[in-house]
């Protein structure tokens, strides 16, 4: 015979652990830092990243003097992957683990007309 409180304990445990997605939805302030292009210094910019309740993400950021990068992404578990591009200039991809407070994504901007990828890091929220 099962203990009468076993069912209540199981319900309490399942309700007590919200999924990472529920903890991570909203608008996160973000900051990107990319390695130098040519002889210039590192480039930095701030921008919002929006995470919807369905795990989809979107962002827009202008890094340096180039065109604006526009992208989307997907949260799978605790891993956020963002992919974007900047008006035929470069394609970008960043991936990292996030929590309800934020996180750090690493990636690169790869020129569409050849050349070496430029490493970048994005810090979301409290990172």
Nearby residues of 36 by Cβ (< 8 Å), 6 or more positions away: 42, 43
- 119's tokens: 């490493």
- What is the reported pTM? 0.79
Statement: residue 20 has pLDDT above 80: no
Which of 49, 73, 44 lies closest to 60 in space, CA to CA? 49
Give the Cβ contact number of residue 109 at 10 Å.
25
Tens digits of per-residue pLDDT, 49-88?
999 999 999 999 998 888 999 999 999 999 999 999 999 8
Could you tell me the CA-to-CA distances from 43 to 1, 4, 31, 100 in Å, in that order?
A: 66, 61, 11, 27
Domains of the chain, residue spans: 19-125
Fold of 19-125: Porin (2.40.160)
């Amino acid at each position: 015979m099962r203990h009468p409180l076993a069912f209540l304990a199981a319900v309490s445990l399942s309700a007590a652990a919200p999924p990472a997605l529920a903890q991570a939805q909203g608008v996160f302030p973000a900051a990107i830092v990319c390695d130098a292009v040519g002889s210039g210094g590192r480039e930095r910019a701030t921008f919002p990243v929006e995470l919807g309740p369905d795990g989809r993400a979107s962002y827009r950021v202008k890094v340096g003097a180039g065109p604006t990068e526009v992208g989307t992404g997907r949260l799978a578990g605790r891993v956020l992957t963002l992919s974007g591009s900047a008006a035929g200039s470069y394609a970008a991809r960043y991936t990292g683990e996030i929590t309800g407070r934020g996180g750090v994504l690493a990636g690169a901007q790869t020129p569409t007309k050849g050349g070496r990828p430029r490493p970048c890091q994005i810090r979301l929220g409290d990172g």
